[in-house]
Chain A
Amino acid sequence: MAADPIHQFRIVELFPVAHVGNAEIAFTNSALFMFAAVIIITAFLVLGTAKRSLVPSRLQSAAEISYEFVAATVRSTAGHEGMRFFPFVFTLFMFILTVNFIGLVPFTFTVTSHIIVTAALAITVFLTVLLYGLFRHGFHFFNLFVPKGVPIAILPLIVFIEVLSFVSRPISHSVRLFANMLAGHITLQVFAGFIILMGSAMGAIGWVGGILPFGMIVILMALETLVAFLQAYVFAILTCIYLNDAIHPGH
């Protein structure tokens, strides 16, 4: 049934690609929208700036703003050394932002509404932080879990809490994005379902009454647009903060 709010999250296999053991690898609607995002982002940045104008056009200006926005975020949270991770953070931010925005278009699919995707991204960040931290600082990296100036009596407890919070980072990092996208789209679908429900149940009066949930959808769309941007930004800035720990574990 069309009003089912979960229907929109269904993975549809477009064509199978391979079988690895028991697992089936197929090209799905999710993959389609991932590549759509890749193409849109690349076109936006490369074609938008193709003229290399000194005085930028609107599109070039937008591309430059996205560049400078992410660069400023990285520089302010992870310092100048953090700029080596700028392409990584930029890719994360633009990918999440674009799939979030694509998901707002009716009849599309929201890639980030699947926990496996956000978890994979969060674990990539987690492993990057862990490996770079160990590679860069060796065992000094674990100073991250030992704050300075803590009395020795409660130090084990503090270290335990620090380790726990570090390990739970990928969980909160991924669930935050996933849950926001999921909940937002379910809410939109539920309100849209009300319109159909009222229209089919009460005829003409129902369609008039449908104005109310429709108004809600308009408001929610604005909210979800904000959330789509905000969650991409939050994901990116948390990545920067975690990377900062890998670069400067001393404090």
Chain B
Amino acid sequence: MAEPKLNTSTEHVPAGEHKAGFPPFDAHSFPSQLTWLVIAFVLLYVLMAKWALPQVGGIIESRQKRIDDDVAEAGKLKAQSDEAVATYEKALADARANAQAIANQTRDTQAAAAEARRKTLEDELNAKLAEAEKTIAATKQAAMSNVQGIAEDATRAIVERLIGVAPSDKAVADAVGGALKRS
């Protein structure tokens, strides 16, 4: 990029100025320029290195530090709020579990109580049923024995009418008992 421009500048040297004085190549001015360049450059270097750059750098650094601090602070606060949220959620979960437990317990107790009541009632009913069956059996027994008495009487009367002789009570009772047993 420098080359073409360099060419144009060297073209201008003979065209623009008489031979003695193309100023940039005039060695007469070199000592002055070098002297003042050294003084100015060293002065500027010292001013920059000892004064200006530490000041500007310090400002940038303190701002960076402030930003970092603020970010760290924000991070800390976020961690705190996260913790609070976690605590809250844990409390919520605990309460929910507690409620669940109470509900379960209540349901179990209720169920057990109902079961017990049902069982007592059933037992009572069974007892009543058994009693009723006993009564029925007794009644049936009584009826049966009545039936035997009637059958004996009838048998005796029928035999007496047929053969004219009254059979003995024992024979009639045996015969009727046997017939009833067979039926």
Contacts and interface: CB of A to CB of B under 8 A. Distances in A.
A68 B22 CA distance: 39
A151 B8 CA distance: 42
Most buried by A among B30, B47, B48: B48
Nearest to B25: A115
Contacts of A187: 8
Interface string B34-53: 11111011011101110111
Contacts of B162: none
Given A178-B24, A183-B5, A64 B56 contact: yes
Contact of B36 (A30, A42, A115, A182): A30
A38 B43 contact: yes
Contacts of A67: 53, 56-57, 60
A92 B159 CA distance: 159
Interface size class for chain B? Answer: 35 or more
Interface size class for chain A? Answer: 35 or more
B24 A186 contact: no
| CB-based closest 8 A-B pairs | A31-B36, A45-B52, A87-B49, A23-B31, A34-B40, A183-B5, A176-B2, A11-B29
B55 A45 contact: yes
Contact of A179 (B9, B40, B49, B52): B9
A35 interface: yes
Nearest to A92: B41
Contacts of A124: 41
Contact of A64 (B17, B21, B34, B59): B59
A24 B33 CA distance: 11
Most buried by A among B13, B22, B41, B52: B52
A63 B56 contact: yes
B40 A183 contact: no
B165 to A, nearest CB: 146
A4 B13 CA distance: 11
Contact of A120 (B13, B34, B48, B56): B34
Contacts of B49: 87, 91
A114 B33 contact: yes
Contacts of B40: 31, 34-35, 37-38, 95
Most buried by B among A38, A88, A179, A186: A179
Nearest to B59: A52
A186 B9 CA distance: 8
A46 B52 contact: yes
Contacts of B55: 45-46, 49, 52
